[in-house]
Structures are given as structure tokens and as C-alpha cells.
Amino acid sequence: MLLCSATEEYKPTPICENFTKGCHWSPDGTCLLVPGEDFRLRIYELPRELYSGKVSSRLILHPLKAALTVKEGGVVYDSCWFPMMNSWDPSSCCFASTTKESPVHLWDAFTGELRATYRAYNQVDEVEAAISVQFVNSGTEVWCGFKGALHTFDTSRPGRQVNTIYLKKDIPNITGIVSCIRENPTMPGLVAFGTYSKTIGLYKDGPLCALKTASGVTQIEFSPCGMKLYSAVRRSNEMLCWDLRNPGVVLYSIQGRQADTNQRIQFSISPDGNVLVSGGTDGAVNIWEQDPNMVNGEQLDIKQTIKLSNDCVNGVSLHRYLPIMATSTGQRICDEELERCRDNSVRFWWCGSTD
């Protein structure tokens, strides 16, 4: 059931297509972070009527309006919440973003003020823009991905990077641009990162292993138990679930979504790890249910497909505590596709029962 939506902020203009670029619920579940093609990051608050966890079929909510908008100086490459974020503690309410030709910024999620700047320098001492960013070790470190390197920062000490990990030198058999970074939820310090050179690396105080993929990696996520790693790649309808107890072994292939595009099509895992959802270029959200009895190498097929838009659903995010799903839609449209239906929006959906 559709609860509310935001469309006014994302209307295309002659100079900007203004589509969304994914969505991320905050760790405490109070608000949603959405980067856009117009160089802005917007925060939407969860309506108070939904906190009870019960919804009437007669409930009418006002259209979503951004509670906070932060303007960056260029195209937003990546963004992430501070993992210890709690709205009762304003000092913890912040998020990081990385954009074209700029250092990494740490923003205050209440005021929109810039709290800190993290500058990464390359081998000729020039400031570089990170392609990916992620907090590690309970938010005490900021890890950033670059071409051929990972730079790490001390969150409490803005400025220059503390450490640099060179892919080819320090992590053999892995090269390319680091497109995404994630930390294992049950093993602090164990970091996985994907590259556009068809590789996933695992690192903890040194390289652990490398996993080969069919194309450039666009997203990786650990399961809540920390024993599995999910990956999605460019121009592929397939996602993979890797068994971290046997590195390199694919538990199963997840098939069925429409994602034949270079654009990142986000997937999300339920808090209990039993359900996986993903958007697609066909405007549908696909749902898979995990089967504990599956044999290694089997195929996991779609349990349910729900058509939610006439445009690409590029982002999905499942709420941690409530049966609510957020979606973001839109995509870059080429000249020959100008007649294509546009739907640049952010929407909240109720996935539970109604009164």
C-alpha cells in the first residue's frame, strides 16, 4: 500500500534530468537519505503516524517534503549514514558524501552544516575525489575507495588520510576503481569492497581473499549473520550469494530482476536475513525468500514481483523495525528515449497488514 511520495523536487529541468540515485534508511529508522542527480542530498522524515507499526486502510498522509537538503558541488558518487546515528543524540546525527572533484564531506543531519572534510591525496600529492565511502569500526574510521587504492581516515580527526592500501601492491590480484565498501556486521574490521574490474576483495589487517565476478561490481551487502555476502554487477539480471565460510563458493544465484544497465540498481536485505528485494529497469520490485535447504550452486527464483512504477526503480530500502519499504525511481534517458515515461520520485510503501 502506497503511504506517501515525493515528486515535486525531482521534476526534470532543461539542465538536469534530476532522477534519484538510491535511498538509505537511517540506522535508527527515523529518516531516509536520498542523493539526486541535481547534486543534492535530501532527508525525508518518517511520518509520526507510522511509528505505531499499525496502519489503517483509510490513512491519508501528506506528500513527502524534504526535511533537509544539502547541496554538493558536483555529481554525488556515494553517501552513507554514521552507523551509530540516533535522533535522541544530535551529535551522532550525520552522514558522509563523496562527489566529483571534491573531498569527502561529513554533514550534520539536523542543520545541514558541514562538520568535517576528509582529503585524500594521491601519489603526486594532489587531492582526489573518492568513488565510494563507508564508516568502519563503529564509525571511528572512514574508508574511501579510489582507482587502485583504499584510503582510511580517523573520523574524529578531519584532514589528510591516516592510511593507504594500494590494491595491486598490498592486495594482489585486485585492481581498478573501488565502487563499494561494506563492513561485516558481526566481525568488526572485516571489510569487503567491490571494484569495476570484476573483483570483490575481503580485508582485515591484510588481504584475505578475492572473489571474481562477471562484470563490474555495483553493490555488495553482508547478511545480518555475517556469514554470507551478496553482490550485484553491471548489466546483469543475476545477483550472487557467496558463502564466507568457504571463500569463493557461490551458495546460490539470485535470478529474475531486470537490470541490464550500467546504472546501480539497489537491493536490500530484511533485518532477519530471510527476504531480499531489488528494483529493476522495468519498474518492478522483486522479492526473494531465502531457503535454508538449498544446495550450493542452485538458483533462487523470484517469490513475488510487484509493479510499482513505469520508470526504473533504482533504489529500495527495507526499514529495520517497521514493515515499510522506501523506493526511489528514475534513470538517465538518452536522446532516442525522450518519449519514455519519466517517474523521478521517492515513495514509502506499507508491507504489513492494515486495520
pLDDT digits (tens, 9 = 90+) for 235-284: 999 999 999 999 888 999 999 999 988 899 999 999 999 999 999 999 99
3-class DSSP state for residue 119?
A: strand
User: Is residue 83 within 8 Å of 92, Cβ to Cβ?
Assistant: no
Residue type present at position 40: R
Note the pLDDT tens digit of each residue in 277-335: 999 999 999 999 987 777 677 888 899 999 999 999 999 999 999 999 999 999 987 65
354 confidence band (pLDDT: 50, 70, 90): confident
Q: What is the pLDDT of residue 85?
A: 96
Domains of the chain: 2-350 (2.130.10.10)
- Going from the C-alpha of 331 to that of each of 15, 72, 143, the distances in angstroms are 15, 20, 28
| Spatial distance between the Cα atoms of 95 and 99, rounded to a whole number of angstroms | 13
Q: What is the mean pLDDT of residues 73-83?
A: 96
Q: pTM to 2 decimals? A: 0.95
| Nearest of 331, 283, 324 to residue 305 by alpha carbon | 283
Q: Where are the alpha helices (DSSP H) in the chain?
A: 167-170
